[in-house]
Structure formats: C-alpha cells, structure tokens
Amino acid sequence: MVDDGTLHPKKANLDSERQTSLGTIMSHLLIVQSSEREAANGVFTQGLTLFSTLCGLHPCDSFASTTLAVSVFPRTKARATGIVRDATRWLCGAGTWFYQGVSGEKGLRKMLDDQAFSTDNTDANLQDLDGQFVVAAGDCNSGELAIVTDRLGILHIYTVQIGTTRVVSTSSIVLAALAGAEWDPEGCRQFLGSGTIFEPKRTLFRGIDKFEDARIYSFAADGVASQRRYWSVESALHKNDERPVDAYRVSVALQESLCMVHRNFPKPLLDFTGGFDTRGIVGAMLKANLNLDLVVNGSDSSPDVVASTRIAKELGLRQLRRFRGFSVPREWWERAKESLTYCDGECDVLDYAGTLEAQLRNSDGFDASINGAIGEVLKGHWWELLFPHTGRLNRFDCHLVARRRFTFEGEVPGLLAFGYREGLTDHYAEVIHQSISGLEGLPNTTLMDTVYLVIRQQKWLGRTLSATDHIWPSISPYGFTRLLELAISAPVSAKLHHRLSRRLIEYEEPLLAGLPLPEGYPAAPLRLTTIHQFWPLLLRYARMVGRRLLIDARLRKSDRRMKIPYPRAPFPLSRLAELEEVQFLLDPNQMYTRELYDTAVLRLELNKCLEDTSTNAFRMGRILTLELLARTIHTAKR
C-alpha cells in the first residue's frame, strides 16, 4: 500500500510500454473493486502476476483509485489502447469496438466526451456502439463501475467474488487460479458432451460467471450490483421501417460496415472460404470499390480452397495462402498447448490449434481479420427443424432443437463421476426455453433466430472469436447493428432456402453468384434457367429423404450420433497419441482431472477415440483440454 490510500499495480515498464502501445485496441482486462483496500490490493497484485505467468502478458496501462484498480494488456500481434480518463471518469475496453464509426483510443475518447456510460445516462449513445467488445467505465471518485457487453455477447468477460473483492477479467483461467476455484460439474459435463458450454452464464468453474449479451452491469463500491438489457432480438423486430428488407438494403448495410472497418483498419485481411457468408462480404467489397486482400487456409484439396481460389482467379482478386496445415503431429500438439490460454480451456485445444496457427501467420503485414461469422442469420439458419410449421405461432419444440443441434453427439454414459437427475438434452431444452421466455407470441422462426444468436453464437462463435481477438482484431461485419437488425426483421419468405443470401450475392456481383459453392452448386437463386446446376443439392436432399423414410419404416437404425471426422484434424488421433507427452497426459493414473471421471469408463472411451474418427474422437481433445487446464492452473498457483 502507498500513502495516498489508493490501489497501485506493479509499475515496471508501464510508462515506456504505454508510449509504444497506443494504437488499435487491447486484448485483456483485469479489474478489481472493493471497499477493503488492502485485500483488494493483494488480489490485484496476484492477478497481474498470474497474467504474466499464465499468458505471458504485462500491463500496457493501469489506473487505480481508493476502491478500484484496472489494468489493460496488449494483443499478441497488435498494439493496444490504454485507459482514457478525465478529471472524474475513466474508460477502457477489450475486443474491437466502433463508436460513431471510430475505433481504438479515438472511439474511447468520444465515448468519454459524450459521457456515454455515466450513471445518469447509461443508455445514451449505445446505438452508436458497434462491434464485438466489452467496455468498462468508472467514476474516479465514487469507485462505481459499469461493464457493457456487445449485443450478442461475442467478446467473453467473466467475474468472480473473492471475499469482499469483485474481480472482472477477460481471462477465466486467471480468475480460476486467483480464486482457487473448483470445477463446475455441469460446466465440465456440457464441455465434454457438446464441445461448448452453451448455458449463457456458466463456465468450467464454480463461482466464475460469464457476463451475458447486450447488458449494462453496474457495481457500486459497497458491492451493490444491478444489470439491465439494452438490446434483444425482439426489440430489433420493431426497429425496421415499412420498407421491405431486400438485397439492396442488406448490401448497403454490409458495405457501410465494411467501409467503417476499412477506415479504422486500412489494411485488413478478409478470410474468404467461398461460402455464402464470405461471398457476401466479397460482393460488398466489390460494390463499394474496396481493394482488399483475401486469404484462404487449408490443403489444396479442401472444398473451401478450391471454391475460393476459382472465384479469386475469375474475378482477379488478390488471394493469399499462408497455412496449408500442419506437417507433423508435433507441430499440431505444440500449437494446441498454446491455444489453452487463448480460449480459457473452453475450446477444444486440438480444434483451435489450426486457427491459432493460421491467425498468427495471417496477422503479419495486416491490421485486422474480417470474417463472415454471424452471416447465417440472413439464411434462416436451423429453420429446417421447423418444417412443416415454419413461421407459425406455438410451434417450437425446445427438446427437438436441443437434441438435433446441441447434443447430437450424445453423452458417454457413466464417463463423469457425478450423477445427474436429467439428461443433457433435457437440460439444454430448459436453457433454450429460458432464452425464449417472454417471446411465445412471436413466430417460431424468430424464436429459432433468438436461440441461434443468444446461445449458439454467443457461446460457440463467441469463444472462438474471443480467442482470436487476443491475437489481433477479429471483426464480423454481419454482427453490426443495422445489418443484424435487418436480417432479424426480414420476412420468413425472404430468408427461406437461403433466398436473401442468394439474392444479395447476385445483386452485388452476378459472376460471384454463378460460381459454385464448396458443395458444388451455385450461390445464385434457384430458377428454371439454373436448376440444372443444382444437381448436387438435389442429390443430397434425395439421400436425406431416403434415409429418413428407411428409418421411419424401421429398415434402418437412427444415426443421431453424427459420424463426422474430427474438425480440421490434420492427422489421425492415434498418431498424436504416439507423442510421449500426450500419452502421459492421458494416463488416468497421472491425470490431475481423474476425480472428474469414472476411471474404467474413461479408459474405454480413450481407447475408442484412438480406434475411429467418428464423434468418439471429439472427446479425446476435450479430455486433453481439461487436463492441460488443470495442470496449468496448478502450476501457476504454486
């Protein structure tokens, strides 16, 4: 403690680092708030030490008052923005925000000047805030704290209570080590069973909660807390005017978002897979006369690579190939271990390793990554589950959605040492029911959009984008407010069968629509003049219908457990398991996580993972992720 009674972080190299770090936006936040200064100071100092030990990061800027301290940390491959402040207020953020079209420190200063998050004006100007972000604001005198999350909760941030001290951070690993948190059995169950913890607030640890989407959280210095939602899918339905939502309006909104990104990041790199969503962005780029660089990752035989490379050649676009895949299992494993702290152990590290390698390579020479995430909202994603009642009221089956889109892999009976009163499908059905509570009078298509955005995209996509944003700015133009609200409010007829996406691409560039997707058929609308090009799609539907008829006739067993290969796995998992370190980590006698499992079932499951590449193989990466997480936290606490 110091004589003026304020909380102070370690000051090593802060001034010199800050002089070189005021550039784009930063990666991590650590905030400590308490009325007991000495206890809070100890927690804050330990938190800084853990960020150094676990993440290899040191603060680029810090601020402290009598009841609160905050530090911000830089990205791996991009410079960071510090904390902006005036005589009474301070402001900082994580992720990639745009305020009145301006990002970085200038955007923060605009927010501060507008008093966007002052106590008596907390809703003001929120319509001017866009992107995937968390913004933290505070009062220098009273110690009050406000946390604002983005509309879909994409940028993940967490909180834990340690005695009288509240700690907020973008790293749940740091919070778990700091609080000595125990495993949350339900969180572990969801991660092992579905690869993602889909329950909005839940994490892998008891007492550590994720902040939810589109919220303003307020915390007084005495511990009193409140929260309020400032945006929802339902509210978006009422913001659209009388004009129809068509390809022209969507394209204009997409162009505006893309131009906003380009103004703030003059040299972005567009991740182009050749599918509907990234094709729409490329079309907007051409329509807006922007000359951006594209990149595609994967092997030469990858359908995404084949489709996007052909498009780039036909349209004369600059496309890079920086990552074709790992050459040996050791490379894959080393990147997998590095992935842990990027994704807080909430992503399968074997799955994210390829993304980490690609993004580290892609960031060289560029300012930000642009991707087509969230573009599915234009296509009526998951609406096929609503057939034949698409667009109707009182026709929404929470259990069907849970079974077909969240727990289709199935749980391994008896794998965990904990007992449960209900199956994972029943649990997720209740989570889905809660997410649509109060929306029962709306069409089932709106309910499905809500589930997809506030559960699936917040937790699955959000965890991946949050990890990538720790490397460098990762931006989805489809997530910007105007475009998002247009997509949500589009009529059912416009979004069925990808009509809006197809018409968007055709409006932007007819040649782009006519070239085949990775699946083999074009992105153009289905017409009599183009129906002959859709034979791959027709064949696919014929197979699906035939399989369904055989199952209904009991001539074939239902294959709920989808047989799909491990995502982006460059080698059979048996080759990875030949590595001595992997063998050691998967030995139940040596595992730090062994208390989570029934040992006999665990051994059987690991053997299955090495024998096939079906959904069983998914769990080896998840089991490895939890084991690495346990060992990393244990080492950091010593």
Structure token pair of residue 512: 């782009």
Give, as one character, the DSSP assignment of residue 367: S
Residue with tokens 């990666």: 27
Contact (CB, 8 A) for 399 and 426: yes
Residue 31, pLDDT score:
97
Residue 560, pLDDT score:
46
- Give CA–CA dist 274/257, Å, rounded: 20
The mean-pLDDT minimum among 117-121, 245-249, 295-299 falls in 117-121
pLDDT tens column, 451-483:
999 999 999 999 999 999 999 999 999 999 999
Regarding pTM above 0.85, the answer is yes
Structure token pair of residue 177: 């080590």
Strand partners, 137: 91, 146
Residue 347, pLDDT score:
94
pLDDT tens column, 320-371:
999 999 999 999 999 999 999 999 999 999 999 999 999 999 999 999 999 9
pLDDT tens column, 479-537:
999 999 999 999 999 999 899 999 999 999 999 999 999 988 899 988 888 777 777 77
Residue 431, pLDDT score:
97
pLDDT confidence bin for 124, thresholds 50/70/90: low
Residue 470, pLDDT score:
94
CA distances from 232 to 125, 237, 456 (A): 16, 9, 15
Top-confidence residue, 24 or 623: 623
Residue 130, pLDDT > 90, answer: yes
- Give CA–CA dist 214/450, Å, rounded: 13
Residue 102, pLDDT > 90, answer: yes
Residue 419, pLDDT score:
85
Average pLDDT over residues 122-142: 85
Cβ-count burial 523-541 (b if 16+ within 10 Å, e if not): bbbbeeeeeebbeebeeee
Residue 118, pLDDT score:
65
DSSP string, 31-90: EEE-S-HHHHHHHHHHHHHHIIIII----SEEEE-SSEEEEEE--SSS-B---EE-SSEE
Residue with tokens 């208390």: 595
Residue 197, pLDDT > 90, answer: yes
Reduce the DSSP state of residue 295 to 3 states and report it: strand
Of residues 45, 41, 6, 55, the one with CA closest to residue 170: 55
pLDDT tens column, 593-611:
999 999 999 999 898 888 7
Kindly report the average pLDDT of the chain as a whole number: 88
Cβ-count burial 74-108 (b if 16+ within 10 Å, e if not): bbbbbbbbbbbbeeebbbbbbbbbbbbebbbbebb
Share of the chain above pLDDT 90, in %: 71
Backbone CA torsion sign across 168, 170, 172, 177: negative
Residue 20, pLDDT > 60, answer: no
Contact (CB, 8 A) for 312 and 432: no
Average pLDDT over residues 615-631: 87
pLDDT tens column, 25-61:
568 999 999 988 888 899 999 999 999 999 999 999 9
pLDDT tens column, 544-577:
667 666 666 666 655 544 444 445 577 888 889 8
Of residues 390, 405, 380, the one with CA closest to residue 489: 380
Judging by DSSP bridges, how do beta strands 89-99 and 84-85 pair with one another?
antiparallel
Scanning 265-409, the segments in alpha helix (DSSP H) are: 276-287, 303-315, 329-343, 349-362, 398-405
Share of the chain above pLDDT 70, in %: 89
CATH architecture of residue range(s) 248-378+458-525: 3-Layer(aba) Sandwich (3.40)
Average pLDDT over residues 195-207: 96
Residue with tokens 């210095």: 221
- Give CA–CA dist 257/103, Å, rounded: 12
H-run or E-run covering 130:
strand 129-139
pLDDT confidence bin for 93, thresholds 50/70/90: very high
Contact (CB, 8 A) for 395 and 386: yes
Of residues 41, 7, 46, 348, the one with CA closest to residue 175: 46
Residue 411, pLDDT score:
87
What does the domain layout of the chain look like in residue ranges? Answer: 14-157+211-231, 248-378+458-525, 383-443, 573-637
Of residues 549, 548, 525, the one with CA closest to residue 537: 525
Residue 552, pLDDT score:
62
Contact (CB, 8 A) for 152 and 454: yes
- Give CA–CA dist 153/479, Å, rounded: 11
Residue 23, pLDDT > 60, answer: no
What's the CATH number of domain 14-157+211-231, 2.60.40, 1.10.3470, 2.40.10, 3.60.20? Answer: 3.60.20
The mean-pLDDT minimum among 218-232, 294-308, 557-571, 583-597 falls in 557-571
pLDDT tens column, 384-434:
999 999 999 989 999 999 999 999 888 889 999 998 889 999 999 999 999
pLDDT confidence bin for 77, thresholds 50/70/90: confident
Residue 14, pLDDT score:
32
299: amino acid identity, one letter? S
pLDDT tens column, 148-171:
999 999 999 999 999 999 999 999
